[in-house]
């Protein structure tokens, strides 16, 4: 009796020719995945079971079952399952004579064969066989082979197959010619020698009568020109003639893209192409052709800095696109607006109303693009409206199209939908506000009190944005205003104190505090009650170590200016001094070395001041009145252009050969040391002065030391002369040193200080003192509430200090503003964060000027075999009747012959090796 399982298998085999299968198909697999998608464990268990079934099915002799298993494994590879173990089974399915099975095989090969170079060697002959067109239904077979070939191409495979592809360019079927041209694109990327050696054949396709073939070859040349435009410059006359005669919009677009790539490489194309492109813009009504024409002018470097006529024609059409109901068209139009503005901002300055309207577009992506245009359209008249519109978007958070005041005809106000602003968009708004207000050295700002209020509001609004660099930028703006605008320092420091006093800002945006502390320390002479400010700063928590570094120095500056203000009681100074020492005591044991060093230095100096105060009850000691102010008030800080210090160091040369002291200086020092030793040992001069009872000066008691008065005076005079001579030589060395700042004798604080580095007089900022009482400070004084007033207020322009520069000397290189690098603040740019999906190819660096020489492509025969051409010659020389049918022709089937050589005696080993060598070469060729 036949077992049941064997009978069931026999029934399945009989029903398969009628299209009835009992194995799971691809649809069953997808349904099973959806049904087991409730948990990752169930899904993984189901996928493992299906994969096990596929392993059994792929080993079946039935090609239908094998094809079904390969198709399911191709789908499972998207879930991360490797299918390279089934490459030989895929190759078997590719060799099927059925179109559906062959299509599945090439699909699986495109996903798996690139990992295995050995299997590609075995598939070469199969592909060449499939690429042969024999009439009938072979057109689809050739198309399938060409599609699969382009995805698994390698340098060695490209070298072997390129001749067959160029032969197919002469086919009578347009479909085959089109597929062959597109397949050649990947061949040229991997094997550029094929493009160099067959360039004329590719050029001949540009005269093809079929539009689809012409479109394919133009697209291939366009994509190749992105990699290396040099070899296609010679085709410019032919391509230009094609541009002015063709009426297919798609081909025109591809030609414009091609000329965009070529014009970047060859500037001589501009005079010929630009009039034709402008004429094309006037004659066509297709939006796609219009956009691509403007894109070709802008990206192809055809729009020059002073070409206002061409820019005006482009901008007029772009402004029409911005009024379109299609959001995609408005978005790409903003992109072209931005690129035109980068060439010359005067081009887009007249379109300020359009840009401001786009900033309030219902599409957030269009808003983000329009924000980039604000630098080119903003001026001192509209900057307040622009900033107010941007700040309102931060305040509202989520808007609806109902509450937006828009005058654009392309927004349907009946569709009320919430607009969600992502965090990246809010970050971009804050950075844009700071950029447009601070550009050109604050040229557009007429009311800096308004701008201070804007910065305060930005600090408040940035609390909920998880980007600490925004606080850094706001703090840098406060610091820059304090340094550049002396007339506004009183108002600005009051604004800074309001930021420090805001507990929410201090806790949620701590990155701004570092710069605020530096400001209140450096310009603490504008604050009347510094002791209250010191108390306020002590009460705050500062987790950031860098902020504490600045805070320690700020304490010393505030205490110095406050204690020397002239109206402070000594008892109050003592109390503040004690609080400072108590605060600095634990910081002197900090694990942070910089904080520990600063705290110890400040603490030790304050202890000396405290001891001096104990000895001197009625007035402040010299340590507080003269020594401490001299640490910080010697020079006024001025704005310096970015990169100035780096340029200053470029011409400094260190001389390691010249000694520090000359022989004369060394002899003088030794003599002086000898005098000092004699004076100490013999007590030549008594340092105690003798005073009479009436308080009159008597002189030194030389007689008590047993030395003649005249001899002692001569010794003293010779010593003084030596010291004066040494001081004169030191002064001469200082004058000759260009990097030494000369000191001038001064008592206390001089009203004017000379900075020899900048070569000009500096007026001390400590003369005019403005009192600010932080206890009565109104934090809402400078709010952003803009009240409407009758009439236009008169603009109060203030003096903004420019950047200081280094006076150029003959040996110092001149500074170039383009070579100055600004510091990197914030997140990396979009271009840095993007992941490049473009694969490198040999075409980019290939030199087409070299003559054609037969050579093996890189990457071919990685296993170290001989050249393929040599193997073919050896194969032709052999007389083996392998794969030849009865008619004397080679059969279509691939035959691999393996002959086992019998063992011979040791005396005939050499002869057997000679006989086996051609046999091995023959076998390798047949495998390939």
Residue 533 lies in a domain: yes
Q: Are residues 692 and 560 in the same domain?
A: no
CA distance 318 to 334: 8
Q: Are residues 630 and 591 in the same domain?
A: yes
Q: Which of 409, 504, 492 is nearest to 454 (CA)?
A: 492
Q: Are residues 641 and 681 in the same domain?
A: no
> What per-residue confidence (pLDDT) applies to 890?
39
| Structure confidence at residue 127 as a pLDDT band (50, 70, 90) | confident
Residue 230 lies in a domain: no
Q: Are 178 and 213 in contact (CB under 8 A)?
A: yes
Residue 72 lies in a domain: no
Q: Are residues 601 and 478 in the same domain?
A: yes
> What per-residue confidence (pLDDT) applies to 12?
57
Q: Are residues 766 and 696 in the same domain?
A: yes
Residue 754, classified by CB atoms within 10 Å of its CB into exposed (0-12), middle (13-18) or buried (19+), is middle
Q: Are residues 631 and 742 in the same domain?
A: no
**Range in 358-372, 753-767, 889-903 with the lowest mean pLDDT:** 753-767
Higher pLDDT, 600 or 703: 600
> pLDDT digit string (tens) for 1-29?
445 455 655 665 565 555 555 567 888 89
Question: What phi and psi, each to the nearest 5 degrees, are found at residue 294?
Answer: -70, -35
Residue 114 has pLDDT above 80, yes or no: no
Spatial CB neighbours of 616, under 8 Å, sequence gap ≥ 6: none
Q: Are residues 454 and 601 in the same domain?
A: yes
Q: Are residues 552 and 426 in the same domain?
A: yes
Measured between alpha carbons, how far is residue 51 from residues 26, 70, 75 in Å?
12, 11, 11
Q: Which single residue is written with the structure tokens 């890189």?
A: 858
Q: Are residues 640 and 744 in the same domain?
A: no
Average pLDDT estimate for 44-58: 90
How many folded domains does the chain comprise?
2
CATH code of the domain covering residue 471: 1.25.10
Residue 15 lies in a domain: no
Domain that holds residue 750: 675-778
Q: Are residues 595 and 736 in the same domain?
A: no
Question: What phi and psi, each to the nearest 5 degrees, are found at residue 707?
Answer: -125, 145
Q: Which of 203, 921, 799, 750 is nearest to 489 (CA)?
A: 799
CA distance 499 to 492: 11
| Structure confidence at residue 551 as a pLDDT band (50, 70, 90) | very high
Residue 299 lies in a domain: no
Residue 618 lies in a domain: yes
Measured between alpha carbons, how far is residue 186 from residues 106, 160, 795, 861 in Å?
16, 14, 64, 19
Residue 595 has pLDDT above 70, yes or no: yes
CA distance 233 to 258: 10
> pLDDT digit string (tens) for 194-219?
999 999 999 999 999 999 999 999 99
**CA angle centred on 820, ends 816 and 824, rounded to 5°:** 170
Measured between alpha carbons, how far is residue 34 from residues 31, 38, 54, 201 in Å?
5, 8, 19, 51
Average pLDDT estimate for 736-749: 47
Q: Are residues 596 and 733 in the same domain?
A: no
CA distance 210 to 300: 29
Residue 42 has pLDDT above 80, yes or no: yes
Structure tokens at 40: 């990752």
Average pLDDT estimate for 652-668: 75
Residue 93, classified by CB atoms within 10 Å of its CB into exposed (0-12), middle (13-18) or buried (19+), is buried
| Structure confidence at residue 149 as a pLDDT band (50, 70, 90) | confident
The three-class DSSP label of residue 763 is strand
**CA angle centred on 275, ends 270 and 280, rounded to 5°:** 120
| Structure confidence at residue 712 as a pLDDT band (50, 70, 90) | low
Pick from 734, 755, 778: which residue ends a domain?
778
> What per-residue confidence (pLDDT) applies to 925?
47
> What per-residue confidence (pLDDT) applies to 261?
92
Pick from 740, 761, 778: which residue ends a domain?
778
Residue 867 lies in a domain: no
Average pLDDT value for the chain: 76
Q: Are residues 610 and 735 in the same domain?
A: no
> What per-residue confidence (pLDDT) applies to 82?
87
> What per-residue confidence (pLDDT) applies to 116?
66
Which helix (H) or strand (E) element contains residue 697?
A: strand 697-699
Residue 637 lies in a domain: yes
Pick from 746, 778, 810: which residue ends a domain?
778
Structure tokens at 807: 């006076």
Residue 309 has pLDDT above 80, yes or no: yes
> What per-residue confidence (pLDDT) applies to 17?
56
């Amino acid at each position: 009796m036949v077992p049941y399982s064997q009978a069931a298998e026999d029934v399945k085999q009989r029903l398969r020719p009628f299209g009835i299968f009992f194995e799971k198909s691809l649809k069953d697999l997808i349904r099973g995945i959806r049904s087991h998608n409730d948990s990752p464990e169930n899904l993984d268990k189901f996928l493992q079971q299906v994969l096990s079934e596929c392993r059994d099915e792929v080993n079946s002799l039935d090609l239908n079952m094998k094809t079904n298993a390969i198709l399911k494994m191709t789908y499972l590879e998207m879930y991360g399952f490797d299918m390279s173990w089934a490459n030989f089974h895929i190759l078997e399915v590719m060799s099927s004579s059925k179109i559906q099975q062959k299509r599945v095989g090439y699909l699986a090969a495109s996903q798996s064969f690139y990992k295995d170079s050995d299997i590609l060697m075995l598939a070469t002959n199969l592909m060449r066989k499939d690429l042969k067109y024999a009439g009938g239904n072979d057109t689809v077979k050739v198309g399938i082979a060409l599609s699969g070939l382009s995805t698994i191409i390698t340098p060695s495979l490209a070298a072997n197959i390129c001749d067959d592809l160029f032969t197919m360019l002469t086919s009578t079927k347009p479909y085959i010619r089109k597929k062959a041209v597109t397949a050649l694109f990947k061949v040229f990327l991997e094997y550029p020698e094929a493009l160099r050696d067959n360039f004329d054949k590719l050029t001949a396709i540009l005269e093809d009568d079929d539009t689809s073939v012409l479109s394919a070859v133009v697209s291939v040349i366009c994509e190749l020109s992105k990699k290396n435009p040099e070899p296609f410059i010679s085709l410019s006359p032919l391509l230009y003639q094609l541009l002015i005669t063709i009426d297919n919009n798609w081909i025109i677009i591809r030609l414009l893209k091609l000329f965009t790539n070529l014009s970047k490489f060859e500037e001589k194309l501009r005079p010929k192409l630009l009039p034709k492109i402008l004429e094309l813009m006037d004659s066509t009504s297709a939006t796609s052709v219009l956009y691509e024409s403007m894109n070709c002018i802008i990206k192809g470097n055809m729009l020059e800095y002073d070409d206002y006529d061409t820019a005006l024609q482009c901008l007029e059409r772009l402004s029409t696109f911005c009024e379109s109901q299609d959001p995609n068209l408005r978005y790409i139009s903003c992109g072209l607006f931005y690129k035109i503005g980068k060439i010359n901002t005067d081009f887009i300055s007249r379109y300020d109303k359009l840009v401001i309207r786009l900033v309030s577009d219902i599409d957030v992506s269009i808003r983000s693009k329009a924000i980039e245009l604000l630098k080119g359209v903003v001026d001192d008249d509209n900057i307040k409206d622009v900033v107010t519109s941007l700040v309102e978007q931060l305040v509202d958070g989520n808007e609806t199209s109902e509450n937006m005041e828009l005058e654009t005809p392309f927004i349907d106000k009946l569709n009320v939908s919430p607009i969600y602003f992502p965090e990246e968009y809010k970050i971009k708004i804050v950075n844009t506000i700071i950029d447009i207000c601070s550009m050109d050295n604050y040229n557009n700002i007429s009311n800096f009190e308004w701008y201070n209020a804007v910065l305060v509001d930005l600090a408040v609004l940035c609390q909920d944005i998880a980007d600490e660099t925004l606080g850094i930028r706001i703090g840098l703006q406060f610091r820059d205003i304090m340094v550049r605008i002396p007339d506004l320092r009183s108002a600005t420091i009051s604004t800074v104190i309001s930021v420090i006093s805001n507990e929410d800002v201090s806790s949620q945006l701590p990155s701004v505090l570092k710069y605020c502390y530096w400001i209140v320390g450096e310009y603490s002479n504008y604050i009347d009650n510094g002791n209250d400010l010191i108390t306020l700063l002590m009460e705050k928590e500062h987790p950031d170590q860098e902020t504490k570094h600045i805070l320690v120095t700020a304490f010393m500056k505030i205490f110095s200016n406050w204690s020397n203000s002239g109206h402070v009681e000594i008892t109050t100074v003592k109390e503040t001094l004690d609080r400072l020492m108590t605060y600095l005591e634990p910081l002197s044991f900090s694990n942070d070395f910089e904080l520990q060093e600063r705290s110890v230095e400040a603490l030790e100096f304050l202890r000396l001041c405290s001891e001096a105060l104990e000895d001197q009850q009625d007035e402040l000691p010299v340590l507080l009145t003269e020594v401490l102010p001299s640490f910080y008030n010697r020079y006024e800080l001025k704005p310096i252009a970015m990169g100035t210090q780096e340029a200053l160091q470029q011409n400094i040369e260190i001389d390691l050969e010249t000694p520090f002291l000359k022989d004369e200086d060394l002899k003088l020092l030794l003599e002086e040391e000898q005098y000092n030793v004699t004076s100490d040992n013999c007590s030549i001069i008594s340092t105690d002065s003798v005073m009479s009872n009436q308080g009159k000066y008597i002189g030194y008691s030389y007689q008590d030391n047993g030395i003649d008065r005249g001899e002692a005076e001569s010794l003293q005079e010779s010593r003084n002369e030596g010291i004066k001579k040494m001081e004169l030589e030191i002064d001469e060395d200082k004058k000759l040193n260009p990097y030494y700042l000369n000191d001038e004798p001064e008592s206390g604080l001089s009203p004017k200080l000379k900075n020899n580095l900048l070569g000009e007089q500096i007026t001390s900022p400590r003369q005019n003192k403005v009192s600010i009482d932080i206890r009565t400070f109104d934090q809402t004084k400078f709010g952003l509430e803009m009240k409407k007033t009758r009439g236009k207020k008169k603009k109060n322009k203030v003096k903004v200090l420019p950047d200081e520069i280094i006076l150029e000397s003959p040996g110092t290189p001149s500074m170039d503003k383009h070579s100055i690098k600004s510091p990197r603040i914030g997140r990396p740019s979009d271009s840095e964060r993007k992941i490049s999906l473009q694969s490198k190819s040999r075409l980019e660096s290939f030199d087409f000027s070299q003559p054609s020489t037969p050579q093996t492509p890189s990457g071919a025969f990685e296993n170290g075999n001989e050249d393929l051409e040599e193997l073919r010659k050896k194969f032709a020389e052999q007389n083996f009747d392998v794969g030849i049918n009865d008619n004397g022709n080679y059969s279509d089937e691939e035959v691999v012959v393996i002959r086992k050589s019998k063992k011979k005696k040791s005396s005939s080993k050499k002869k057997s090796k000679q006989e086996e060598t051609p046999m091995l070469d023959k076998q390798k060729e047949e495998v390939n």
